[in-house]
Homo-oligomer: A and B are copies of this chain.
Amino acid sequence: MESQLNPHISVDCVVFGFSPNGIKVLLVKRELDKLNESPTPSYDLKLPGSLVYNDELLDDAASRVLKELTGIENVFLERFEVLDSLDRMKNQKDKEWLESTTGLTIDRVISVAYFGLVNLADSELNGLSERSKWVTLESAIQLPFDHSKIIQRARELLLHSAGTEPIAFDLLPEKFTIFQLQQVLEVFNGSGIDSRNFRKKLKTLDFIVPLAEKQINVAHKPAQLYKFDRKRFMQFRKQKNASFI
């Protein structure tokens, strides 16, 4: 078994970028010049994804492909779906592009989709490659292959796991205020949360731990700072219908 690309198995990464304004998704440019030999450079956008090496784990392939295509690393990627539809390659252009970039004959590719989340304000994201691009969810339509559908499914996953998985706290600093947590959750489920009821609910949760500290240098009443207790959260989520929103 040599280290060669498996022509039947690929990974695709849906990486959402969080900002207070909304959620964006990370796409990469696909050069289309080689196909039609047009004089002007042309490209379209697709999810970062590629074929998997025969001696490579899927999780490793997802991280590698994301790093190679976008420059982003150290993102926790979660496997969430298998795409096996027979018409994934129905657009002849997609098949030709894949064959020309890999040098392989492509008949059928099954893709394993990964999900990741980063904070667009993080300085670590400065290493973003030039060929990659953050776009709004509204503009991520009519992508090649079934990538629009994959993004749609990832968005549903994000919505569903906002209250049951600890992903919100990956976007917050070590010490955060209730207002900050609320803003993150509001972006996730796309609607406003009543801050008074939200505070009431949080008081019943032992994994949101108040610190002996307050905000400083803010142009309003300084807020109590809290930290996230991951261990207690893991206990909490074992309950029957555990959701904190």
Q: Mark A42-78, 1 if CB is under 8 A from B, else 0.
A: 0000000000001101100000000000000000000
- Taking a contact as CB atoms under 8 Å apart, the answer to whether B54 and A107 are in contact is yes
- Taking a contact as CB atoms under 8 Å apart, the answer to whether B84 and A58 are in contact is yes
In the complex, chain B residues whose CB is within 8 Å of the CB of A212: none
A102: Cβ under 8 A from any B Cβ: no
Q: Mark A81-114, 1 if CB is under 8 A from B, else 0.
A: 0101110000000000000000000011010100
Binds B, one of A1-9, A27-35, A125-133: A1-9
Once bound together, how far apart are the Cα atoms of A95 and B3, in whole Å?
19
Binds B, one of A168-176, A216-224, A235-243: A235-243
Instruction: Among B8, B82, B238, B245, point to the contact of A79 (Cβ < 8 A).
Output: B82
Once bound together, how far apart are the Cα atoms of A85 and B57, in whole Å?
6
Most chain B beta carbons < 10 A, residue from A79, A108, A245: A108
- Taking a contact as CB atoms under 8 Å apart, the answer to whether B6 and A238 are in contact is no
* Copies per assembly: 2
A206: Cβ under 8 A from any B Cβ: no
A39 to chain B, nearest CB (A): 34
Known: A79-B82, A84-B58, A85-B57. A6 touches B240 (CB 8 A): no
Once bound together, how far apart are the Cα atoms of A206 and B58, in whole Å?
39
Once bound together, how far apart are the Cα atoms of A163 and B241, in whole Å?
9
Q: Mark A173-211, 1 if CB is under 8 A from B, else 0.
A: 000000000000000000000000000000000000000
- Taking a contact as CB atoms under 8 Å apart, the answer to whether B241 and A110 are in contact is no
A1 to chain B, nearest CB (A): 5
In the complex, chain B residues whose CB is within 8 Å of the CB of A55: 86, 108
In the complex, chain B residues whose CB is within 8 Å of the CB of A245: 240
Residues of chain A whose beta carbon lies under 8 Å from any beta carbon of chain B: 1, 6, 8-9, 54-55, 57-58, 79, 82, 84-86, 107-108, 110, 112, 156, 160, 163, 238, 240-241, 243, 245
The 9 closest A-B pairs by CB, nearest first: A58-B84, A8-B8, A1-B107, A241-B243, A54-B108, A241-B241, A6-B8, A9-B110, A57-B84
Question: Could you name 9 residue pairs across A and B whose Cβ atoms are closer than 8 Å?
Answer: A8-B9, A54-B107, A54-B108, A55-B86, A57-B84, A82-B112, A160-B238, A163-B240, A240-B245
